[in-house]
Chain A
Amino acid sequence: MSKLLVMPKSTNIDLYSEYADGFIYGLKNYSVNLPIEVSIDEIKELSKKCDTLNKELFIAINKNLFTSELDRLKEYLLELDKLNIKGILYADVALVNLKRDGYFKTDLVWSQEHLTTNYQTINNWYSFGVKYTYLSSDITLREIKEIKENTDSILIAPMFGYIPIFTSKRHEVKNYLDHFNLSDSSSINYIEKEGKIYPIVDNHEGTIVYSNNILNGYKEYLDLDIDYVTLNEFNIEDSLFIKVLKTFKEKNEIDLEIPGSDKGFLFNETTYKVK
């Protein structure tokens, strides 16, 4: 059975610990696309708590990094090495190089969210010591099965939640407001097109746009035996999220009907040549 990895909105892991097997938190100023980012001190506390509860802790350092951000990062990586961190989700190849050069030992999770799309490239990163892969959210179930059959990498798959579909270093919402002299202090905005509404977050790292619907791959992943599946709490009510988590953990046979959810790309293969 797949382990359930939660990307929570809160650092209070007691809220989820009855059903979650582990957690993914973003490192403050070094992560994107996570519902919450935490400081290194908070990670130390979370690590202790996870050890006590026998839960696994992954940390996302998944932004694209500038050289000017690397010195501080090296210090953090040494701190993380002292903790019981299961893996570091990375998007920037710098992490692979730093690990290869011996700056830290914690295992890596290849997590370039739209690029982890085939088994050969997964195997190539594996040969560079990258133990885990967080699969792309825009590949099909058939492709996921093929990848599983053709790799030794430990796989993590997005199963539930809004999918990040756009990451930018630009402040798209702030810039628009500034340009037209508008004010708004929403922590989450939305963009609307043809009746569909997409969450958009503009924070200190830039801008993220999420899918209009919640991915719900529960039924599809039930028998797939992927090592880990993730549940992302972003923009989802606490009570609904806990209910979903409980249902997944208990493998309820009932179909979990969630308003505004779909199967993402699991059955929708993308094309690239317009006929």
Chain B
Amino acid sequence: MPELLAPAGDMERLKYALIYGADAVYIGGPLLGLRANAINFSFDEIKEACELAHSMNKKIYVTVNIVLHNKELKAVIDYLKKLEECNVDAIIVSDLTIVKLALEHTKIPVHISTQASSMNVETAKFYKELGCERIVLARECSKEEIKAIKDNVDIELECFIHGAMCAGISGRCALSNLFTGRDANRGGCAQICRWDFDLLSENKETIKGEKEFTFCAKDLSMLKYIPDMIDQGITSFKIEGRMRSIYYIATIVNTYRKVIDSYLSDKENYKYNPEYEKILRNCANRDSVPQFYNGVNDSTCGYYNGRVEVSNQDFLGVILDYDKESHLATVQERNLFKVGDKAIIFGPNHEDIEITIDEIYDMEGNTMDLVRHPMEIVKVRLNKEVFKYDLIRK
């Protein structure tokens, strides 16, 4: 059974990832990760995360995938030992120095990060012989290239199944370094590939389409190909997005969990459910395609809409509690909702519940017509039982 691997930028998101069905969660620690500007986890929080995950028979991986400069070298061994004390299940690494130090000084399993852009049998053999447990393959790998590695090297393979894509080959992009001085290979990526540019000919004449030139790629979505990837024997299915919201993480994990479980429970009669596509698309508010997996690498993979997407707009609120006697749910608002709105409540342990919001009360029991303030806590009457950690979407 493949592992469903989710991202988490903090403890709250980690809980949602685990509760909604992730088998493992990857997080950043206080140092040496590639999301230097995320909140990231302290050592105490990493320890707490590991205890929580292990109590649920799940795993925690920590990213240590920075490309080291001289001044970072001294910190590595102590840092790795502290991670080992936290009981992490693996570290995700790209720099050979960190790989070697981890293997020599700790017992933490090493996963080779996608930052190393591994895409062939010989590279996989190298890391296998070095003692690494797993390779996160480059996102440029097609189905056939993944199969070639799987068939020839006995090493765990992890593939991205959902989320934002780098335009460049991982590790070979320094756009952020040049444009902003922020080092993409040390966690400072400023996502220059999403900027608009003017494209010029060799004579420096402007070549203008309806929208500006950009490197921006559509998101990755492997929803349709999950059965195919399961049959290939890929060890771990990875979701991108350590800086994403609880809503995004819960929605994506929940959806892929259903697809994986549905296929594995009855391969013969499995049917693809296109409704899931809508859910995922609405959640991220971005188009997604399978990118390189099916060998397509053309203009359909690029994003030329010239707009900045605002995600989570269909996320209405979080269920904090439910009183079975009064049928009142305590809800924390995330986007405006009002009496008469239709919505869906989803959670990890039940089918989606369609509702019409009939009654809203403030915490003093006064009736309300609408809830407009983010994070405002209100009561909503719901006739069906819902649960803490359930979420409400449009």
Contact = CB atoms under 8 A, between A and B. Distances in A.
Interface of A: 64-70, 91-98, 100, 112-115, 117-121, 124-125, 137-139, 143, 146-147, 150, 163, 165-180, 182, 184, 186-193, 197, 200, 206, 209, 211-212, 265, 268, 270-274
Given A64-B119, A168-B215, A118 B72 contact: yes
B122 A175 contact: no
Interface stretch (B174-182, B249-257, B379-387): B174-182
B169 interface: yes
Given A176-B213, A176-B214, A272-B188, 20 more contacts: A66-B120, A66-B142, A68-B144, A70-B120, A97-B126, A112-B171, A120-B97, A124-B96, A138-B183, A166-B167, A167-B172, A169-B292, A169-B297, A170-B297, A176-B304, A180-B210, A184-B207, A189-B207, A273-B187, A273-B188
Nearest to A143: B70
17 contacts: A66-B119, A68-B144, A97-B123, A97-B125, A112-B171, A112-B172, A115-B67, A166-B173, A166-B174, A167-B173, A170-B297, A176-B213, A180-B211, A180-B304, A184-B207, A193-B195, A209-B175
Nearest to B297: A170
B246 interface: no
A128 to B, nearest CB: 8
B185 interface: yes
A124 B67 contact: no
B116 A93 contact: yes
B178 A211 contact: yes
A271 B183 CA distance: 6
Nearest to B172: A167
Contact of B69 (A113, A118, A167, A173): A118
Nearest to B128: A97
Nearest to B126: A97
Contacts of A150: 70
Interface string B121-146: 11101110000000000101110110
Contacts of B199: 173, 176, 189-192, 200
Best-surrounded residue of B94, B95, B126, B186 (most CB of chain A within 10 A)? B126
Contacts of B69: 117-118, 139, 143
Contacts of B215: 166, 168, 170, 172
Contacts of B188: 270-274
Contacts of A143: 69-70
Contacts of A193: 179, 195, 197-198
A184 B208 CA distance: 11
Interface centre among A96, A115, A187, A268 (most CB of B within 10 A): A115
Given A67-B149, A115-B171, A179 B70 contact: no
A91 B204 CA distance: 32
B299 A179 contact: yes
B174 A98 contact: no
B140 A64 contact: yes
Given A94-B126, A118-B72, A271 B302 contact: no
B298 A114 contact: no
Contact of B302 (A176, A192, A212): A176
Contacts of B209: 176-177, 179-180, 182
Q: Which of A100, A120, A177 has most B Cβ within 10 Å?
A: A120
Interface residues of B, number: 77
Interface string B209-221: 1110111010000
Interface string B192-209: 010101111111100101
Contacts of B301: 170, 175
B171 A114 contact: yes
Interface string B300-335: 011010000000000000000000000000000000
Given A64-B169, A179-B302, A93 B118 contact: yes
Nearest to B298: A175
Contacts of A66: 119-120, 141-142, 145
B36 interface: yes
Contacts of B148: 67-68
B200 to A, nearest CB: 4
A197 B206 CA distance: 12
B122 A70 contact: yes
B182 A96 contact: no
B297 A184 contact: no
A265 B149 CA distance: 37
A175 B292 CA distance: 14
A179 B125 CA distance: 39
A67 B67 CA distance: 25
A162 to B, nearest CB: 11
Contacts of B123: 65, 92-94, 97
B269 interface: no
Contacts of A191: 197-200, 213
Interchain residue pairs A-B with the least CB separation, the first 6: A180-B209, A272-B188, A94-B122, A186-B202, A270-B183, A175-B299
Contacts of A174: 299
Nearest to A144: B70
A273 B70 contact: no
B120 to A, nearest CB: 4
A209 B68 CA distance: 24
Interface string B273-313: 00000000000000000001000011101101000000000
B122 A178 contact: no
A211 B192 CA distance: 14
Nearest to B145: A66
A270 B172 CA distance: 16
Interface string B66-90: 0111101100000000000000000
B154 to A, nearest CB: 15
B366 interface: no
B171 A271 contact: no
Contacts of B138: 64
A167 B201 CA distance: 19
Contacts of B36: 272-274
The CB with the most chain B CB atoms within 10 A, among A112, A118, A146, A176, is that of: A176
